[in-house]
Structure formats: structure tokens, C-alpha cells
Structure 1
Amino acid sequence: MKAPTISKQQKWLRFLLPFPIGMVVYVLILLVFDTLNQFTANFFSQEVLVTVLLAFVLMETLRLLLNALDKRFPLVTDIQPENGEMHEFKGLTHSSRIILLPLVSLLLSVLVITPLVSVYFYFVLIISDFNTELIVFNGVYGVVAILYSVIHVSTSFLAVHKQLHYKQEQELRRGMESDLDKFKMQINPQLLYDGLENLISIVHAKPRMAEQFVNQLSKIYRYSLDNRHVELVDLKRELELSQSLLYLLNIKYSNSIDFEARLPSEWLHRQIIPCTISALIQELVNRTIINEFQPLKIRLETKDDELYFVCNHNPKIGLNGNGVWNLSLINNAYAFFNDNKQLEITQTDQQLHINIPLFEIEEE
């Protein structure tokens, strides 16, 4: 992965920065020679132009060098978002990069500034003895080169850290989306098997009921297919799906399942993850003893900003009935939207209470 540089992020800085840098260099040189009083008189002089041109040439040379080093020795060649670590360095580790790049920049500054200043003094100003001036120019532009390399290294590290963080967020989001899709797309094979079994038993004796049965069964799977790419649906649509599911279950359990949802009308437009209520109903039915003497009563209640799934508790005997409720898939789906919104079960001897967080989508 190639780290972005200053010139790639803001190309216009390549042409604007040399002017203020050149002027600052000129002021520093005047301070060294104690001739700062000449600054106003020589503001638009040849000397200022020379310092600006030297700054431009030096910065362009440093840019080319640092870009070449980034290509040859990138910060990282591979990013592992699973553990958030950067590794597989090519030659330059983080610490060595911080130390070597400023030194290389300083050396390059000397190699660039020395011949240019020498040409200026020898051929333009016709001065042969300029050793002191050469040392001053190299010293000032050396500081500029070191600062440039430090800024470059800092922005490169920040850019890599930002990209790494972005990749981690992408991986986390893809994982949550996968959990959400798994939950929404799960098709209960037991429901389909029981549905077809019940359909066979009533298709000859009660053809009208069989037709209605097929209609309700198709609504359930049509709902799952229609919402496989939908993250949230209205609570009203979720309740309609629950009614279709309860119609099928009550044929099997001889109308021994009672479902009551007396909710305020404004709650019906709140959002819920598709198939949440129906999944809870199926899980509950699989774990509960249901007959005409021990009917299953389910009701939905509102409290604060959450919906509560309340039912009587009459678990089946055996491992499947006494096992702990597994809400991990549903909670992983809810974590896609908010880690603080999770389904929790409160269990007593007589009842189960399951909170179902809802979402409110604000229209812009």
C-alpha cells in the first residue's frame, strides 16, 4: 500500500509553499548576518527571488525522493484488519524511517543547495569567497529539509492509520451485515416441513382451509424474500407476518396459541429488523408445551421506548426445552445498528419477558 504524500493530497501547495518558505529563509539569513534592516528595501529584490527559487527546487527534489522511497520501501505491504496490526515491513521500519528520512533529506539539501548557491555567487554575483554564506544557506535550508521530511513522515503515518482504521470499520461492517443477512435469510426447515405435513392432512378434508393455508405459508416466505435486502421494516408489517405464522401454527396446535398486540398506533410506524417477532414465536413454540389444556398466550406490551414480548412459561421436558435461549444471531443483527440495543430475557416461574428494541427513522 502506497502512503499518500503532501503533494498528492494538495498539489497546489507545491507552488504556494516556496514563497513563504523562501521569504522566511531570507529573513533568517539576514538575521544571521545582522542585516535585517535591509529586508524592507530588498523585499522585491533578486535575493528574495533566489531564496524562493531555491526553496522550490529543494522541495520538489525532496518530494521526488520521498515519493521514490515510499514506493521502494512502503510503510506496510499488507494490512491485517482482523487484529488491527500492520506488519511485513520492507526494509524500513517505523523507527528507522523516522530517523533515516530526515538524515537523507538533510544530505539531499546539501547536495542541492551547495551547487546552486555556488553558481549564484560565482557566476551572478561574481564572488569567489563565499564559504560563510554557503554554510549559512546550507544550515537554513537543511532545517527546511528536515522539517519537510518530518511533516511527510507524520502525514504518511496518519494516512496509513486512517486507512487501517477504515479497513477495520469495513470488515466490522461486513461482518455485521453478514450476521444481519443470515438472520433475515434464515428459513426454518421445521416450519416448512410441518406446514407441508399439515397441508397434506387438510387438503382433501378441508380444501378451502388448505387454500388459505398455502396462501399464508406463501406470505411468510415471500416476506423473507422481499426483505432479504431490507435492513428495517415497519412494526406493522412485522405483525402482519406474525399473524400469518400464527395461522399456520394454530392449525397444528388446534388454536391453542393466543397472540395479542395492543399497541399505540404511532408505534406501528417504528422500525424493527425483519423476522424478529416471528423468530421469537417459532423459538418459543419449539420450547413450550402447547395443548388445549395448556394454551400458549403471547402478548406484546410497550414500556418506555421498547417493545416487550411476554408469554406464559411452560417449557418442554428435556434438553431442547430447558436449554438456554440462543439470541446471539438476533443480537448480532441488532449490533449492526446499535451495540447498546440487545434482546434480553427475563424469566420467572410463570412468564417470560423479552425486550425488543425498536428504531425510529427520522425523515429529513
Structure 2
Amino acid sequence: MKAFTTSKQQKWLRFILPFPIGAVGYILILLVFDTLNQFSANFFSQEVVVTVFLAFVLLESLRAVLNGIDKRYPLIEKMLTTESEEVSDKGPNHSLRIVLIPLLSLLVSFIVTSFLVSIYFRFVLIISDFNTELIVFNGVYGVVAILYAIIHVSTSFLAVHKQIHYKQEKDLRKGLETDLEKFKMQINPQLLYDGLENLISIVHAQPRLAEQFINHLSRIYRYNLDNRHVELVDLKQELALSSSLLHVLNVKYKNAICLKSDLPDEWLSRQIIPCTISALIQELVERSIVNDFQPINIMLEIKEAELMFVCKHNPKIGLNGNSEWNLNFINRAYSFFSENKQLVITHHNQQLHINIPLFEIEEE
């Protein structure tokens, strides 16, 4: 992994940074030799050019060496470039890198600084005894090398953390999208089986009703297919789907299921996950006793700025009216949009209350 690289727009920093670093290094060297009073007179002198050039060569050397290490021994084995690749963290190497990179940077600084300072004193200033100056230069630029190494290590680990976090977020989002697609595309086999069975029973005796039945059944599955790639739909569309579903169910249950809603027009334009209400109706019917004496009357009403699914519940024996599985499945679809918007089921005096979160899409 190439963790500490600059973008094309920031490459100019590589040529600017040596100037302040070289100037600061020059000041530190003057302080060591107690000749700071010469700074104003020698600010544009040959020594300043040498310190700036030395800073440039040192930074470029460190950059090349450390980037080479990152290529040869990456912090993560694979970059997330395709869907098939995985990011695996090479944890055992972390503590070793923290120790070795500063030490290696210090070694590179010692080699580069000693080499350039020796050339400068021997061939430019024609001085053979410069051991003290060499120690000072190595000390000053050794500090620069260690700081550079610390920044490099920090940015490298930060890049790895962001890469792994991105992979985790992508996997989480992919899982939520899968749950959402599964929820929207689920086809209740029992509904299809009962629908075809009821169709056979009425196709000869009541051909007109059979024709209406086929139209409504086709609307249900056409709705599922049309919205398989749609994340949200208008509440008005969802109520139309629910109307078709009730028409299909009432052929079997002889109009014992009723859905009433008296919602303001502005609520009908709010957004809902496709098939939410129809899934609740199917779950309710499957888990309830439904006949002429115990009909299901569903009411959609507004309560505390939320849409409420309210009905009297007559649970079948052994189910205890528990629709937890289906609510959990729907909530996984809702978690794709918000962790705070969830369906919650409550019971009050044999009344079943389910809040249905809606979304308001702001048009730009």
C-alpha cells in the first residue's frame, strides 16, 4: 500500500517544504554554535542554500525509502479495487514497523547528511577537520528524519484504518441493500397458491369476479416487479397495492377483511418502503382467526406524526399474535435508510398497534 504519497495537486509541497525546514535547521545550527547574531547578515548566504538543499535531498531520500518499504511490505495485503478482493489487516507487523521506520529514517538521515556535509566541507570550504559540525548537522537533520517518520507512520495507519472502515461500511451497506431487495422481492407462496385455488373455484361460477380477481392478482406481482429496484414509493401507491391485496384475500375470506384510511392529501405523497403495508396485512391474516363473526378491520390513522396500523387482533391458537419475525425482517429493510426509524408493535386491549415510519423527500 502506498500510504504516504502526495496527489498531483500537492506535489509542489515537496519543493516548498525544504525551504522552511532548511531555514529552521540553519537557525538551530547557529544556536548550537552561538552565532545567531550572524543570521541577519548571512540569511541569503551560501550556508542557507546548503541547509535548504540538504533538507530537500533528505526529504526525497526518506520519501523514496519509506514508499519502497510500503510497496514491499504493505500494511494491508490487498487494496479494495474490485468486488472480489478483500482487505486483510497484517496486525503482527504493526509494532515492528513503528520501531523500524524511525530507526531506518535516522540511518538514512545519517548517511545522506554525512555524505553531503563531507562533500561541502572537503571540496567547497576546503576544510578537513569538521567533526563537530558533522555531529551538529546529523543531530539537527536526525530530528527532522524522526519527525518525518512519525508523520509517515501516523498517516499510514490512518490510511489503513480508513480503508478497513470503508470496507466494513461497504459490506454493511451491501448487507442492508440485500435485505431491502429480499424484502421488496419476496413473493408469498401461500398467497399465490390460495389465489390460484380460489380462481379455480370461481372461474366458472363467477367469470366476472374471476376476471377482476386476475387483474388484482396481476397488479400485486407487477407492483413487486416494477419496484424491485425502487427504494421508496409514495404512500398512495402502497395503499393502491393494499386495495388489490384485500380484493384477492376477500375472495377466500368472504369480505371479512377491511382497510380504512382517512389520511390528508399531503400524507399520501410521503415515502414508504414498497410492500410494507401489504406485508403487514398478509402477516396479520396468516396469524389471525378470520371469519364472518371475527372480521379484521384495519385502520390507518395518524398519531404523533406517524402512520399507525391499528386493528383488533384475534390470534390463532399457538401463535399468541406474535408477528415478531416479520417485523424484524421489515426493520432490517428500514435500517438501510435510518437506524431511528423502526416498526414497533404494541397491544392495547386486544388492539394491535404498529407504527409505520414514513419518509419525506425534499425536492431540490
Shift in Å, 1:300: 0.4
> Structure 2: how far apart are the matches of 1:39 and 1:5?
34
For the aligned residue pairs, the C-alpha RMSD in angstroms reads: 1.9
Task: Answer yes or no: is 1:273 the counterpart of 2:264.
Answer: no
Say if 2:343 is the partner of 1:339. no
Q: Is the Cα contact below 8 Å between 1:7 and 1:63 reproduced in 2?
A: no
CA deviation digits over 1:337-360, x for unaligned, max 9?
111211111124421111111111
TM-superposed deviation, 1:68 = 1.1
Whether 1:76 aligns to 2:76 is yes
Tell me the alpha carbon deviations over residues 275-317 of structure 1, each in whole angstroms, 9 at most, x when there is no partner.
0000000001111111122211011011112111011111122
Match of 1:295 in 2: 295
In the alignment, the residues of structure 2 paired with residue 164 and residue 302 of structure 1 have an alpha-carbon distance, to the nearest angstrom, of: 43
Segments of structure 2 that go 5 or more residues without pairing to the other structure are: 81-86
Tell me the distance in 2 between the aligned counterparts of 1:21 and 1:325.
65
Aligned to 1:196: 196
In 1: Cα distance, 2:64 partner to 2:7 partner: 11
Contact 1:23 1:51 in 2 (8 A): yes
CA distance in 2, matches of 1:297, 1:16: 76
1:4 aligns with 2:6: no
> Residue deviations 1:237-256, cap 9 Å, x none?
10010001011111111111
Q: CA deviation at 1:320?
A: 4.5
Report deviation, 1:219. 0.8
Report the AA paired with residue 3 of structure 2. P
CA contact (8 A) 2:217 2:248 kept: yes
Change (3 A) 1:86 1:79: farther
Q: Percent identity?
A: 70
- Superposed displacement of residue 28, structure 1: 0.8
Whole-angstrom distance in 2 between the partners of 1:324 and 1:235:
22
**What does residue range 1-364 of structure 1 map to in structure 2 within 5 Å?**
2-7=1-6, 10-77=10-77, 87-89=89-91, 93-317=93-317, 319-320=318-319, 322-326=321-325, 327-364=327-364
Displacement of 1:104 after TM fit? 0.8
**Residue 84 of structure 2: aligned partner:** none
Give the counterpart letter for 2:32 in structure 1.
Answer: V
Distance apart, 1:78 and its partner CA: 6.1
Structure 1, unpaired ranges of 5+: none
Instruction: Give yes or no for contact 1:232–1:272 (8 Å, CA) kept in 2.
Output: yes
d(CA) in 2 for partners of 1:94, 1:209:
72
CA 1:193/1:289 → structure 2, altered by over 3 Å: closer, same or farther? same
- In structure 2, relative to structure 1, the CA distance for the partners of 1:79 and 1:63 (3 Å cut) is closer
Residues 19/38 of structure 1: CA separation in 2 closer, same or farther (3 Å cut)? same
**AA partner of residue 287 (structure 1):** R
For residues 217-250 of structure 1, the C-alpha deviation after alignment (integer angstroms, 9 at most, x for no partner) is 1111111111111111111110010001011111
- Counterparts of 1:55 and 1:358 in 2: how far apart (Å)? 61
2:313–2:321 CA contact under 8 A, matched in 1? no
Secondary structure at 2:283 match in 1? helix
Measured against aligned partners, the alpha-carbon deviations of 1:194-214 in whole angstroms (never above 9, x if no partner) come to 111111112222222212111
Aligned 8 A contact 1:6 1:155 in 2: no
The one-letter amino acid of 1:182's match is K
Would you say the 8 A contact 1:271–1:358 is kept in 2? Answer: yes
Letter in 2 for 1:266: E
Deviations 1:91-140 (A, max 9, x none): x6222211111111111111111111111111111111111111111111
1:8 & 1:62 partners in 2: Cα distance? Answer: 17
The alignment covers a number of residue pairs equal to 357
Query: Any idea what SS the aligned residue of 1:93 has?
Result: helix
Q: Distance in 2 between matches of 1:339 and 1:75?
A: 33
Name the CA shift for 1:54/1:79 in 2 (closer, same or farther; >3 Å). Answer: closer
Q: Distance in 2 between matches of 1:353 and 1:88?
A: 51
Q: d(CA) in 2 for partners of 1:222 and 1:150?
A: 60
